[in-house]
Amino acid sequence: MTSSGKKRLIGMTGSIAGAALLACTGLAQSAAAAAGEPEWVVSSFYTEAGFKGTEMLANLDSEGCQDLSAPANSVINMNDSRKGIVYYYQPDCQGPSVRLDDLRTVTLSASPILSYQVFQLS
């Protein structure tokens, strides 16, 4: 669990080269340190097909949302044994976040390509 007031990014969609992802999160980490913003800890997610997102730890500032794409009807299975965690779904890395229940399965079908993220507010 992260400390109070931090955001924990549970999963991100799409694919991106490891070096590019590290470079991107490195820039965001610098911005976060300079601005004293909450940390977002990148974890992993599972799709319906069983693909497991890359696990890594990185600090992102509050503006460091990753705009990654996923095909329509992608499914995130929040396969997490922890209890009492509130998850949020934010389409296109902008706009209002939608609260999810623990262990909730989310189907994305709003458009052919949809960028999204799922994160926990702790």
Work out the number of other CB atoms within 10 angstroms of the CB of residue 13: 20
Q: Distance from first CA to last CA of the chain, Å, rounded? A: 7
The rounded distance, in Å, linking the Cα atoms of 14 and 33 is 26
**pTM of the prediction?**
0.24
Give the model confidence (pLDDT) of 12-61 as tens digits. 433 332 323 333 333 334 444 444 433 333 333 333 333 333 322 222 33
Work out the number of other CB atoms within 10 angstroms of the CB of residue 59: 20
Q: What is the mean pLDDT of residues 68-81?
A: 40
